[in-house]
Structures are given as C-alpha cells and as structure tokens.
Structure 1
C-alpha cells in the first residue's frame, strides 16, 4: 500500500478533515511516479525530435473528439478553481471533498471550515450549480467521511471517528440532505438490480461490494469478497452491462519486502454478484501499479475492451461476446508507466487516457475501429466517466474539485465547486 502523504494540508485540516484513502493513496503514488515519467518523456523527446507527447495533442483518427467549453481545461491539467469567498476572515479555511453526482442537475459534496472547531457539512445543488444549499453532516467533527450519491435526492456516507474506537458506520439521506438516518448494510447473495454500486478503497478483495437503493438509501452488501487480489470495481460501465471487477491473480515479494502484483484478470457477474466468470490475460496486463488490473471499457456489455500496459506499451484486448472470449487488437502506443483509463462512448469510440495527473504528462487516444488503430487525440474528459441518470459525470479528484457533466459522453460542460459561506 502506498505511504500516506499529507504534504500541504494545514494542521487544522489534518485534525478535522482527513482525506479518504483513495485521495491519499493517489497523491502518494503520483509523487513517486512524477520523477519516472519525466525521465521517460525526456528520452522520448531526445530520440524522436518532436516526441510522442507533442504528437498526441493532435487528432487524426477520424473519430469525433470530445468537446468541452474553452473556459475550463481538462481535470488532469491543474487550473484555478472557484474564486475564494471574499474577505474570508482571520483563521478561516474552507475545504471541499470529491463531488457526488446524483444526476446532471443534482450534485453534492462534503466540506468544512475551521474557525471554532471544524464541523463537517454537505453542500448540494438542485439546478446544475446555479444555486447551492448546505447543512450539517451528523458525524463527529474528527471523522473520516466518504460522501456518495445514489440518486438525484439520495446521499449516503460512511464515516469513522479517529478518536473513538468504533467501527465504520453509514448514514443516508433520501431527501437531498434535509434529514439523515443511520443505515446498517444488509448482507445479500446478490446485489439488487437498479441499485447503484459504489467503488471503494479498500477494494472488493478486502471489503465486499456494496450497492445503494437510489430511492431510499438502503444499503446491500455482498456476503463474499472478490477472489481477485488488489481488485477494483469498474464504475464506468453502465448498470445493464453487469458487474465488472478488475484485479490481479498473483504476487511476489520484491526488494525491501514490497509486494509486486502479477497476473491481470477481470471478473464479470450478470446476476448481481451471485456467480462470476473470469478471464486472465497474459503478460501481467495492468492499468495501474497500485490498484486493480486492466481498465475495462464497454457501453453495451457485449463489446468489451480490456486496456492496460505491458512493459511500457499500451495493449488492447477486445471481446465481442460479453467477455466470454478475447482477442488482442493491433493498436498500441508507448505510454511508459502512466496510469491508464478507458471507456467506450455511446457512439462506439474507444477512448483511452494514459496519465491521470498533469505530473504524468497525460496522453489521449481514440479508436473507431475496435482497437485496430489507436490515434492520438486532444486531451479532454471522457475516458473515466460514471453513468448517471440522464448522462455521464467525470471528476478530476483530487487534482480538481469540480465535475464534468455530459448528456452524450462526447460534449462536456464543467461545474465548478461553489463559493461556500
């Protein structure tokens, strides 16, 4: 597990608003990877003269590129966010969490400000960001909190106090934050159809998958954990495509006792997690050195891609029978050790992003021929979307605190976090 890294957080923020595991782990591994990526990119520039990084900024694929407003660059290229509240006053510090998107008009987030204590609160919009409401989160001030949305008016959050020896707990609101209640997850053999599956860290190898009723906030949890190692649930696939989990099949101990994961594989369930089918890929195919195996991309659950890297080269596998059989596609590119994300747009275009932060010098690719060719494409959102009612959402958390929203997965608009009082 990557080391925890709280560099840059103030003492007050550390005491009352500890980031959740995913944020801390992501920041830690990005700090380690920046030095490696810089060396790889420099070598590429010296060898080719112009470099892959420069060529990848131009789209000659023939596939429509993602479109977004000129007022905001992609999440993984840091830019200034919302303007701070005017005259914040001495000692004031407002911190916001990852956006939780219920649909294209209902978006929520957690936040806190530190004056006398640091109480945790929520903020939400019902009209796509024109107006925001806010209220208290009924959790201890020192709690670790992960706020999620399961529907337009439904939020859930797990929390755990850092000072009291109590297990993780859940709360839910089904009326947009007006009222909250404690929820106890119900153990099930299969997750109910139509409930929103939550991606969490630690992943399904350690904690069984959970799903939330978008109408009530009730929570169901599988009775069994994933048998893959270092696994992650794939959140970018539509619910009708089934449950997909990506992970590893083996491990060995490297220098200094470090665990090195081996063997990329994907599991798919068509019955809510009651039964699973697995496919293992050769050559340690992976999209990340830290969590999960290959990146899984599908729009209809029938044509499915498993995308990752092998020895620094991008590799694409394609299935046309829902993951039953697979064939390697010809498309490839040099991506070094960059983290890989992939998705299939509603128009059938496979979108691949290599590098999830500005420090990785991200590259973008698109394929409209089933992965036979991977053409460089302009940087933009679309490779890591989450299906929501009415369209798609993608965040750049933790590098960016807002969210991209789209009705069609091609044209995107940016929603900035609010100026909180």
Structure 2
C-alpha cells in the first residue's frame, strides 16, 4: 500500500460482496457485506441474501452483526455507528429498510425499526438519536432513535447519486448544486453558493467540488471560496477530511470504464502542494480524521489504518 501506515487488515470470506464502508475518527471502521447463493434465479438469490457488518480496528476484523437482506448504507460519528439494512419486499418489487445503531464503536448493534422510504442510498448519524437518510426523491430524519421518521421538504429533487448528506457545525448540509444547510433539524434551510458546478464534500471551512470539470479543494472565507492548487486532471472527488492542518482528499478516476482507480491526495501546507498515493482498492473506501482510512479491494482484501 503506497500510502504510509496502511496495512492489510484481513480478507472477507470468498463470495461476500461489499456494499458499504465507513471509517470513524475514533480509529475503527465498518464494512457492510452480503452473501447469497452462487447459482439460481436473481429473485431467489436476492430473497436468500444475508447481510453482515464487520468491524475493523487495531489490525483485526470481526463480524459484529448478521441478518436477512443486505446493508444499503453505513456511517460513523464518534463512537456511534449507523446502518441501513434492506430486504426484498414480499411482492418481490422494491425494498424494505430498517435502521441499525451501535453506540459502542461498532461492537454491538441494536435494530431500531423500519424506515418508511421509497428508496434509500445514504445514512448520516448526528448522534444515536438523530439520524438522517437520503434516497431518490426522499430526505428523512429521526430525532428519537428510529421510533418515528419525518420526511423533510427542500427545494429540488433528491438524488443520492449526485447529492451528499454531511455534518456541518451546528447542523446538517445537503451538498449538490451548492450547500443547503439546516441547523434546526430540516425545518428551515440556508443556501450557500460556492461557485462550483457540483459540491461533493465539506469539512469545516474546506469544500471539495468539481469546478469547470476539475476536482478542486477550496477554503470558505465568508461568502467567498479560495480555491487551492489544482489536482490532477481526470479525477472525481469523493471524500475530504481536514484535520489538524492536514488535508486528505479521496478521488476516483472520472472515466468509469477504467474502474475506480482510487487515489489519496494529501496536503500538509494548506493546499499549496499535494502528494498523490494510488490505492489498489475497489470502489468502497472511506477516510476519517488525520490518519484513519478503510477500503476493500476487488478480491475482498481489507486495507487501512484503524486503531
């Protein structure tokens, strides 16, 4: 692994398919995977799927939860882990969703009931009681640990493929064509235009965006954004972490026909210069804090720096 300190943590059982990865600043990570019969009709295989959650920490990987269906999305915030489990509706068309929550760094998980949504692609933990979800034409929030959910109103059509839920100081932001920020649980929103065609991530004062077709990192200064040194051409930004003076940006190749080709870009001088580290991993990679990261290669090998 070219980036220093990333190590091979283990290998998933043969045949497991990874659906989601999340890293925490607390030095642990989560992997959502599924198993299904190797042969048979697609519908029957989907009905037989088993979802699994693995916890990676301190050089070891442990299976911490298993149930029917598959893991649709994961998130970590401090010691809180959240997962959206999905299973095929009895009719065979569409999915049912349910919330899983861990409050001890991913070691133990509790089911928190169904999430009534037409589709779900992302989950975001503010804490173990306040959780947000994003799906096609759906933005929702629970403030009571999943007992009840409220659909939130915001201009535009929700799309988890082009929009991102992110924590910001004092609230939650929906990123896409700018930043939409709510500090009152989605009751009201303020719009922040950063002069980019698409905003992908935000961490404190820093944003990752696509500007005139180019992956860029910028620093918000009042209502303006100061764009830092350009990144290599042909990259799509995925995940930005700004911590203790270090910027870390995860990108993938912009040409989907060439595979994900993830690269980690690191700046220790406020974005004046960048080093670039190729990661021989598949599409499921995540970063957290100044040093943590977790990813899975196409053969099920797990790599990262955890614990």
| TM-score w.r.t. length of structure 1 | 0.50
Out of 253, 268, 287, the position equivalent to 1:385 is 287
How many residue pairs are counted as aligned between the two chains? Answer: 277
Out of 171, 182, 192, the position equivalent to 1:242 is 171
5+ unaligned residues in a row in structure 2: which ranges? 40-44, 118-123
Where 1:355 maps in the other structure, the secondary structure is strand
* Structure 1 residue 269 corresponds to structure 2 residue 185: no
Relative to total residues, which structure has the larger helix share, 1 or 2? Answer: 1
Distance in 2 separating the partners of 1:360 and 1:135:
28
Partner of 2:191: 278
Relative to total residues, which structure has the larger strand share, 1 or 2? Answer: 2
Q: 2:64 touches 2:109 (CA, 8 Å); kept in 1? A: no
RMSD: 4.6
Out of 34, 42, 46, the position equivalent to 1:111 is 34
Partner of 2:121: none
Out of 145, 155, 164, the position equivalent to 1:233 is 164
Q: Where does 1:295-310 land on structure 2 (aligned, <5 Å)?
A: 295-298=200-203, 301=204, 303-310=205-212
Partner of 1:339: 236
Cα deviation per residue 1:9-64 (whole Å; 9 max; x = unaligned)? Answer: xxxxxxxxxxxxxxxxxxxxxxxxxxxxxxxxxxxxxxxxxxxxxxxx9xxxxxxx
Distance in 2 separating the partners of 1:200 and 1:221:
12
| TM-score w.r.t. length of structure 2 | 0.64
Task: State the Cα distance separating 1:134 from its structure 2 match.
Answer: 6.4
Q: 1:232 touches 1:246 (CA, 8 Å); kept in 2? A: yes
5+ unaligned residues in a row in structure 1: which ranges? 1-56, 58-65, 73-80, 86-92, 249-264, 287-292, 406-411, 415-421
Partner of 2:72: 146
Distance in 2 separating the partners of 1:362 and 1:153:
27
Distance in 2 separating the partners of 1:70 and 1:106:
14
Q: Where does 1:7-406 land on structure 2 (aligned, <5 Å)?
A: 67-69=4-6, 71=8, 82=11, 84=13, 93-99=15-21, 104=27, 107=30, 109-114=32-37, 118-125=48-55, 130=60, 132-133=62-63, 137=67, 139=68, 145-146=71-72, 148=74, 156-161=83-88, 164=91, 168-173=95-100, 180=111, 182-184=113-115, 194=127, 195=129, 197-198=131-132, 200-202=134-136, 206-210=137-141, 216-218=145-147, 220-227=149-156, 230=159, 231-235=162-166, 237=167, 240=169, 242-248=171-177, 265-282=178-195, 285-286=196-197, 293-298=198-203, 301=204, 303-311=205-213, 313-321=214-222, 325-329=223-227, 331-336=229-234, 338-355=235-252, 359=259, 363-371=263-271, 373-379=272-278, 384-386=286-288, 394-396=293-295, 399=298
Task: State the Cα distance separating 1:164 from its structure 2 match.
Answer: 0.5
Q: 1:155 touches 1:177 (CA, 8 Å); kept in 2? A: no
Distance in 2 separating the partners of 1:155 and 1:193:
10
Q: Which of the pair has more CA radius of gyration?
A: 1
Task: State the Cα distance separating 1:224 from its structure 2 match.
Answer: 1.3
Do the aligned partners of residues 401 and 279 (structure 1) sit closer, same or farther apart at CA in structure 2, a change above 3 Å counting? farther
Task: State the Cα distance separating 1:245 from its structure 2 match.
Answer: 1.7
